[in-house]
Chain A
Amino acid sequence: MEIANSFFNLGYLDSLSYKKSFIHRLDPRIKTIVTLTFVVTVVSFPQKELSGLLSFFIYPVFIIALAEIPLGFILKKLVIVSPFVLMVAIFNPFLDKTPVMELYGITITTGWISFLSIIVKFILTISAALLLIATTSFVGICEGLSRMRVPEVFVVQLMLLYRYIFVLVEEALRMVRARDSRSFGKKGRGIKTFINLAGILLVRTIHRADRIYSAMLSRGYSGTIPQKRTHRIRTKEVFYLIIWVGLFILFRKYNLSLAIGQLF
């Protein structure tokens, strides 16, 4: 039951965000900006850079430790998404065979280095995004985005998406169960049944959207959704932001892991 699994994981990610660590209590805007700078600096590294990226691991490690996020959970999520990245990166070693160095008799080509670079970038950026969601309630992120002047259409989309993904997945789950309980170990009649299920789910979703809109109208909706403003940025948090952004720029400009390596 892949659907069931991914659903319960989503619920788990959601429940993590209600913890009350130092990281959880930070203003969502601060966390969003830090995560964004992190992602941008990591991605901005040239294709064949590897060692410079390593210093960036300090950020996810810091968050995991302070926010008490189970490492295994993040790793598992990374493994689930990894096929997409492997597909993108796997051709590099075959296309680019310029040797750069030899390590214990194995020639290392630039192709392999850029392959690894993509993998490392992937691990860093995805874990940063996951950690943002695991340490910030989704309401908080939406509030943060809207206060950072992100157009309301996008924020409301995100908000409704998060609200109804649970309802939708539950509905899909019920349909899959109904199919399985009458198909005796086989997946119904395969793809054909699946197409039907997906179609019905779409129609139901459209009807639901209609009813939700009616409910909104009934309570005076006229185009804007009121946003809550609960958080206030404290000076402490500004320092948090400055320190991280400073570190990321430092890591980007100077290859610290190489420098530390040369000390020994």
Chain B
Amino acid sequence: MSHHIIEFKDVSFVYPDGTEALKDVSFRVVHGEAVAIVGPNGAGKTTLLMLMNGLILPTSGEVLVGEVPVTKKTLPEIRRKVGVVMQNPDDQLFMPTVGEDVAFGPINMGLPEEMVIERVDEALKKVGCLHLKDRPPHRLSGGQKKAVAIAGVLAMKPDILVMDEPSAGLDPRARKALINLLKTFHHSKIIASHDLDLVLELCPRCIVLNSGQVLADGKARDLLLDEKLIDRAGLELPLCVQNSGTQT
């Protein structure tokens, strides 16, 4: 299925204030792949994600989602295909109740009412939050907020799921629950994170980003355990490796 593909062709992005956030970034993510984008703060991860569903458009180069280039004209189509889960769920849960928030996407897609309700229940059930349907977002815990934010995106049935720092601000158990939840998704997944242990568990492939450039692109197991590369990227080895290192 060709429409589950995301491709960056020599993409550069310069912010209005002159900061060069991305420089000649190229990669291709194919159907069903789970790809991590890792890099230190300010490496350009969030910029990269925003380019994927056209929240910003590249200064030069091209972003393709399933052979369709991301331009102003194709935005509605692109956003239906690419579901983005933001880093801070408070930014994403803007409707007064959980149920309405999850329904926001499907309603905007113009689905009939019964189908909207069906999608909302299905998505909430998937993340284990159906009982929270009538709660206002300010009465949820951090982990619940995250789960509901994910449900809001799942309800649109995107082809590609894009997440920015999914484990940020979660306690260990909520983080584990999230990882298990993400394992059950068969979408193409793109996850930006510096939680390298989460990356190792979820993503076979990994793209290392630093100062807006692709430093490496390959198997996560190889890249993330490569001490030289990790050091050059301004990161630290995954904790699971660090511990075993101190024991020996």
Query: Footprint of B on A, CB under 8 Å?
Result: 14, 137-139, 142, 159-160, 162-164, 166-167, 208, 211-212, 214-222, 225-226, 228
Contact = CB atoms under 8 A, between A and B. Distances in A.
11 contacts: A138-B136, A139-B100, A139-B136, A159-B96, A160-B94, A166-B138, A211-B86, A212-B92, A214-B50, A214-B55, A215-B86
A160 to B, nearest CB: 6
* Of listed A163, A166, A167, A228, residue having the most chain B CB within 10 A: A163
A130 B158 CA distance: 43
Nearest to B149: A215
A218 B97 CA distance: 19
Nearest to A160: B94
Interface in B125-162: 136-138, 152-153, 156
Interface string B72-91: 00001001100110101011
B55 A218 contact: yes
Given A214-B86, A215-B92, 7 more contacts: A163-B95, A163-B138, A214-B50, A216-B104, A218-B83, A220-B79, A222-B76
A221 B86 contact: no
Nearest to B135: A18
Contacts of A219: 79, 104-105, 108, 152-153, 156
A253 to B, nearest CB: 40
A211 B87 CA distance: 10
Contact of B97 (A14, A139, A215, A225): A139
Interface of B is mostly: helix
A216 B79 CA distance: 11
A220 B80 CA distance: 7
B103 interface: yes
A226 B138 contact: no
Interface residues of B, number: 31
B53 interface: yes
Contacts of A14: 136, 138
A215 B97 CA distance: 16
B138 A167 contact: yes
Given A163-B137, A220-B80, A215 B94 contact: yes
B108 A222 contact: yes
Contact of B79 (A138, A139, A217, A225): A217
A103 to B, nearest CB: 51
Nearest to B102: A219
A225 B80 CA distance: 17
A217 B95 CA distance: 14
Contact of A212 (B94, B105, B138, B153): B94
Given A163-B137, A167-B138, A220-B109, A211 B79 contact: no
Contacts of B94: 160, 163-164, 212, 215-216
Given A226-B107, A226-B108, A218 B79 contact: yes
